[in-house]
Structure 1
Amino acid sequence: MAAYTSRNTDEELYQLIQKGVEKAFDTFFLRHYPALCSYANQFVEREDAEEIAQEIMIWFWENRTMPVWETSLISYLFKAVKNRCITLINRNDLKQRILQTLYEGDDHLFDDPDFYVVEELSQKIQSALEALPSNYREVFEMNRFQKLTYKEIASQLNVSSKTVDYRIQQALKQLRIDLKDYLPLILFLY
């Protein structure tokens, strides 16, 4: 095992990161964060790109003891950034569809208290998604927003299809509980 220096290879840094060496993570972060930001910025605005890249790097640190990656670690991080960008785009698209449904020829809806219920619904959906455990939310968003199959998700996350199915079922179960008061409105809009 190599000792930490700022000249370590990514593989050496990863081995040190797995052991909790924060300086190795700092070096890895500084080495790859700008590229992840630039890549994310191809899909989303700069501010969102920076936030997504930072979230992925924090996730990487928090999950540093995960087993060896099926692809290279860098490829995995870029794929994770892309998936987060697509999820953000799809979330924004969902909000836009809700608003567009309201705006289409019904300007008087703003005077109607039901308009504010839909705005509240959008916020509740967002909050309910954010409240899910991260592994449930990730597979749910990949399936529902990115339209990936269970098999594709399993391949990307290096888990079994049954694990993906379980996580999506648990996410749906929790969302039904969290959004039970809004289910009739959700069904009406979609």
Structure 2
Amino acid sequence: MIKATIQTDEILYKAICKGSYSAFDSLFIRYYPKLCAYAAQFVDMEDAEEIVQDIMLWLWENRKNATVDTSVQNYLFRSVRNKCITLINRNKVKQKRDNILQAEMLGTFNDPDFYIFEELKQRLKTAISALPESYKVAFEMNRFQNMTYKDIALKLNVSPKTVDYRIQQALKLLREELKEYLPLALLLYLN
């Protein structure tokens, strides 16, 4: 049975490399639940689903250039594990940075010159309203309504990658606009 699955996977992968949508659908349907369950051992289910979708999307988009040097199953599971580890490490670094920033900024909040805080809020509000509409909508849904990229994508009828791009562009524009306030702005919107 395992040998038959490996052979079938190889046939599907070769068909995917040639652009077969049905082969991709078959491989996706076969592995999506298993890969999500595997990823959920490392990260929460929402992140697990996003990781698996990213890997499957990458496999499709890079079908002409990707080289699978092991079995397709091993390749997929190894890719999921690596992405989970990357996410876990990124979250640890982010948490450490947030803790350091929060400790540094604590003195700022106790500072009698706290009027800067109100100025920052107004500048941030102005900067957000100046964003291109598609960036602003995605950014506000994510940051102020706590919606995931997947939820935003469904609501806006776009891909999660498009949502990611829009939010990254919004952040880039906001960083440029608010560069002198960046440490205070980060702390304000992390809480």
The TM-score, its normalising length taken from structure 1, stands at 0.51
Q: Look up the match of 2:65.
A: 66
Is 1:101 the equivalent of 2:85? no
Instruction: Mark the CA change 1:32 to 1:104 in structure 2 (over 3 Å): closer, same or farther.
Output: same
Name structure 1 gaps, 5 residues minimum: 1-7, 117-178, 186-190
Classify the secondary structure of the residue corresponding to 2:65: coil
**Unaligned runs of at least 5 residues, structure 2:** 1-6, 121-175, 184-191
Q: Is the Cα–Cα contact under 8 Å of residues 10 and 28 in structure 1 kept in the other structure?
A: yes
Q: Give the match for residue 15 of structure 2.
A: 16
Structure-to-structure mapping, 1:144-159, within 5 angstroms: none
SS at match of 1:87: helix
Q: Which residue of 1 aligns with 2:78?
A: 79
Judge conservation of contact 1:102–1:109 (CA < 8 Å) in 2.
Answer: no
Q: CA deviation at 1:104?
A: 3.7
Q: Which has the larger radius of gyration?
A: 2
Alignment of 1:114-125 (within 5 A): none
Percent identical residues: 49
- Offset, 1:64: 1.3
Per-residue deviation, residues 108-140 of structure 1 (Å, max 9, x unmatched):
3346669x8xxxxxxxxxxxxxxxxxxxxxxxx
CA contact (8 A) 2:36 2:49 kept: yes
Q: How many residues matched?
A: 114
Q: Secondary structure at the match of 1:9?
A: helix
- Note closer, same or farther for the CA distance 1:104–1:54 as it changes in structure 2 (3 Å cut): same
Instruction: Provide the residue aligned with 1:91 in structure 2.
Output: 90
Contact 2:10 2:71 (C-alpha < 8 Å) held by counterparts: no
Distance of aligned partners of 1:110 and 1:79 in 2 relative to their CA distance in 1, 3 Å threshold: farther
1:66, CA displacement in angstroms? 3.1
The amino acid that maps onto 1:16 is: A
CA distance in 1, matches of 2:53, 2:101: 35
1:61 maps to amino acid? W
Aligned-residue RMSD, C-alpha: 3.0
Q: Give the 3-state SS of the residue equivalent to 1:43 in structure 2.
A: coil
State the one-letter code of the partner of 2:102: Y
Q: Give the residue type in structure 2 aligned to 1:65.
A: K
The 5 A counterparts of 1:129-144 are none
Whether the aligned pair in 1 keeps the contact of 2:59 and 2:66 (CA below 8 Å) is no
Superimposed CA distance per residue, residues 157-187 of structure 1 (whole angstroms, 9 cap, x where no aligned partner): xxxxxxxxxxxxxxxxxxxxxx9x89xx9xx
* Residue identity opposite 1:103 in structure 2: Q
Q: Distance in 1 between matches of 2:43 and 2:66?
A: 30
Offset of residue 67 of structure 1: 5.6
